[in-house]
Structure 1
């Protein structure tokens, strides 16, 4: 059977429709942007990424959901009306499906090519929390592994030219009683725990199937599996825009573009403090711009990903040509993060002019991987990152979860941090390589950590270059990064 690619799918992907096609799925093939330019080393600059990342072109005609039966009173079920409006918009060649004012109760929203879902200021999409509303299962990626699972709350597969815009709110209504308890017990969180609803058995079964290379169609993890869906997931789509909305109370990851080309996330507020409430997780995407956003999350603010372990290597698609700029990070496990599902690699990322600060921000710059993930992380540039309060300033950790137990050593190289300013940290650094595979290829210039309780943890580090880098007013030299 030929390799599966996004052109083989039109419309929504259900378990019934996709099962016969997925058996032979081995890798993803997507279009390339021939207009991109590169520097003398073959890498796109930050400005080039901004210039060549294509935006959707949406027809200038509106389809108010009220015209299809929606009642925005916070009580009526608007699911059918929103679906009808999207279908009519698509059939008419595209345009905006508009939620103008009030609270629209809904189940999952599935977008189609050339359609912009516009949630205006003063409007709220309020999603039901009954899991049965998110069936039938769809083709999705969960913690870096492909499976058939609950539909994301906003979903599109294999669509072109789509957008989610406006000044309104998308509320997943997840809380200590709904969605979040599926995470299982957690000593530091206060969501409820129901043993019969713990995700752990299904999670471990999915890991085992992915490692064994089982066909994706056989990985059925919807009803009864308790694997929470992403909030917004656009899978294998081209020319995607998410702009202006506030996304809150998510079951799982908030914004999750997967295997997409030309993604722009602009002026979005991500606010959710539940388990695994990552803000924006581009996974195996090419040409991504994330700018002017606010992140206040229960997990990583931005996490760049490319598949987990065997599944990531099977698909073998890096996340590349990424620009992150002018964003604000508050609470979170990490500000700008790579990993941990990183087996396909990350290359050519530029992060600049960002501000981070919160007593609940655990790390500012974070790379997390291990010897089961593998993958190559290369040509990473941080410039002008201003941090107020944080626990750990700079983290490169090869011991995340499985640590050295694996046959796929991580590679991190050509990472430059310029103009990092940190006012207050508990630890300046957490740099943990393996004895036979140390952290290397890190360059820091014109960086200052004004107050740090300690230098932190430095294990198995080599080939660090420093220029005008100080902690607590004292200049550092590379010798101080010799393994303790």
Structure 2
């Protein structure tokens, strides 16, 4: 598709992805129990709402300690201003293990804090707070890094992560890839899995163990006006994975990893499932910290196509990349039809546009991913390390990359383009810092 077709398609996508509608029935969680933990009250309120034909579960002002919350069809979990859902730091409160993905590989693991499987018309809305309770004392140290609280002699996720990757490579059935109790693979904050018509709107998310909003194999997903502040390890902001028709709009991301990361499964497991991520629009968002502003990958195995980014703000001390397409010949898959326009960049410590096939494992596999039809226009950047870094493979060059009508000030070092066919630079102005 060309630019005109792309933005027309993006406008149609914006109209197509509509929020679910709910009956005007309200069920106050305080009417279903309470006390030291609200886990049973949330479960009872959601089940009653669902069985009554749907509506809203109201969480009024106050603090509500709880374990996992599982949404059901036609239920909106509405967290009012002044309300905080405070998630337990006890891993046992997220058992039994559920069908999920850890770092893009299917398994059974601790339940995500807010989880839904195979549901339709679900939402988390309101101006309240979702507090994961994570920090160096809880959850984050599982990553095995001293900076996040781990100390020698403590367990961590390394052995479990290696075991899960081996299971996927060996074709172990997903039902036998069971982690959870006694293991250390961190759960995500919000994960709808195989759901349709999903809305996350207005809430503030803090202190998540890992990825914040992670829809997997969902269709018609709207993430709107959400504010995320969680600088923990692997704390991606919003990671649509193997989804179709996703709109992320008006959000603030101040997170410990990629702000938005589009994914499609990893390695042998991604090839087995074989579901792409497609038709994703990101607009009017503020990306402040820390790795990629809009990342595509590293988990690209199922393929990623039709990604549109417009009217966003990228930058701040400690934010690394702008558009960050990262994969390699181990991950495979493909990335095609990525369009970016009208982005303001205040400061990035690395590139405004990075497309790198040597990310992570480098060129050590036999599945070199085709990357094609990437179009960037209207970037206005105050400070970056480089304007762009573009690296394909000799036998699989990047194809048809355009950067136009963009200005890059205070650029620290030369741009790089290697193994690329069809690079177009038009009206691109790059200026070094004044001497």
TM range (shorter): over 0.9
SS in 1 for 2:229: strand
Q: After TM superposition, list the pairs within 5 Å mapping 1:208-227 onto structure 2.
A: 208-227=166-185
In the alignment, what sits opposite 2:207?
249
Q: Is the 8 A contact 1:181 1:194 kept in 2?
A: no
Measure, in 2, the Cα distance between the counterparts of 1:473 and 1:397: 23
Q: After TM superposition, list the pairs within 5 Å mapping 1:423-442 onto structure 2.
A: 423-442=382-401
Q: Is the 8 A contact 2:98 2:110 kept in 1?
A: yes
- 1:302 and 2:266 correspond: no
In the alignment, what sits opposite 1:105?
65
In the alignment, what sits opposite 2:90?
130
The one-character-per-residue Cα deviations of 1:63-83 (angstroms, maximum 9, x if unpaired) are: 001111135xxxx21111111
Measure, in 2, the Cα distance between the counterparts of 1:291 and 1:43: 16
Q: Is the 8 A contact 1:44 1:348 kept in 2?
A: no
- 1:199 and 2:157 correspond: yes
SS in 2 for 1:221: coil
SS in 2 for 1:70: coil
- 1:179 and 2:143 correspond: no
Measure, in 2, the Cα distance between the counterparts of 1:148 and 1:273: 26
Measure, in 1, the Cα distance between the counterparts of 2:43 and 2:151: 34
Q: Alignment length, in residue pairs?
A: 431
- 1:410 corresponds, among 357, 361, 369, to 369
- Runs (5+) with no aligned partner, structure 1: 1-37, 475-484
Q: After TM superposition, list the pairs within 5 Å mapping 1:307-322 onto structure 2.
A: 307-322=265-280
Q: After TM superposition, list the pairs within 5 Å mapping 1:354-433 onto structure 2.
A: 354-391=312-349, 392-433=351-392
Q: 1:133 to 1:195 in 2, by over 3 A?
A: same
Scaled by the length of structure 2, what TM-score is found?
0.96
The one-character-per-residue Cα deviations of 1:394-443 (angstroms, maximum 9, x if unpaired) are: 11111121111111111110110010111101222222222322223211
SS in 1 for 2:347: strand
- Runs (5+) with no aligned partner, structure 2: none
SS in 2 for 1:400: coil
Q: 1:296 to 1:100 in 2, by over 3 A?
A: same
Measure, in 1, the Cα distance between the counterparts of 2:25 and 2:338: 41
Q: Is the 8 A contact 1:166 1:245 kept in 2?
A: yes
Measure, in 1, the Cα distance between the counterparts of 2:415 and 2:256: 24
Q: Is the 8 A contact 1:164 1:242 kept in 2?
A: yes
C-alpha displacement of 1:52 = 1.0
- 1:445 and 2:404 correspond: yes
Measure, in 1, the Cα distance between the counterparts of 2:263 and 2:308: 15
Measure, in 1, the Cα distance between the counterparts of 2:243 and 2:16: 14
Q: After TM superposition, list the pairs within 5 Å mapping 1:161-172 onto structure 2.
A: 161-172=121-132
- Compare 255-264 and 438-447 and name the one that shifted more: 438-447
In the alignment, what sits opposite 2:282?
324
Q: Is the 8 A contact 1:264 1:290 kept in 2?
A: yes
SS in 2 for 1:441: strand
C-alpha displacement of 1:138 = 0.2
Q: Is the 8 A contact 1:259 1:283 kept in 2?
A: yes
Scaled by the length of structure 1, what TM-score is found?
0.86
Q: 1:342 to 1:44 in 2, by over 3 A?
A: farther
